[in-house]
Amino acid sequence: MDCIFCKIVNKEIPSTIVYEDEEILAFEDVNPVAPVHILVIPKKHIRSLNDLTAEDSELVAKMMLVIQNIAKEKNIADAGYRVVNNCGELGGQAVHHIHFHLLGGREMLWPAG
């Protein structure tokens, strides 16, 4: 499968990993839009939020806790941060392997663009 994030999971493409366990990988976004910009992904290929099933519930909950821990480690937890999932074409999803953006270190605008 030609998925860039699967290649990152398999270490076929280099990345700056900030967290890894059996199911989850977190790494620096190569094109950061904030001082802290980390992508949190499941190691198994799930195309988008549309493709999650009830069986993925625990995995998604774990990903949220990974995000919470990284926010603490990066010292952005108290100030606040944003978690983003882009889903599908109108949602702006460019990489079709589900991922959550952790953005912090600056004030976030609302509404999002």
- The residues that touch ligand AMP, with contacts defined as CB under 6 A, are 4, 13, 15, 29-31, 39, 86, 92-95
Among residues 13 and 108, whose Cβ is nearest to ligand AMP? 13
Among residues 59 and 87, whose Cβ is nearest to ligand AMP? 87
Q: What is the CA radius of gyration of the chain?
A: 14
DSSP string, 28-69: E-SS-SSSEEEEEEESS----GGG--GGGHHHHHHHHHHHHH
Distances (CA, A) of 55 to 1, 28, 40, 58, 63: 22, 27, 19, 7, 14
Is 99 among the residues known to form the active site? yes
CB of 41 to ligand AMP, least distance (A): 10
CB of 61 to ligand AMP, least distance (A): 20
Among residues 13 and 61, whose Cβ is nearest to ligand AMP? 13
Of 37, 45, 97, 99, the catalytic one is 99
Distance CA 17, CA 29 (A): 10
Both tokens assigned to 82: 């944003």
CB of 66 to ligand AMP, least distance (A): 16
Catalytic site positions: 99
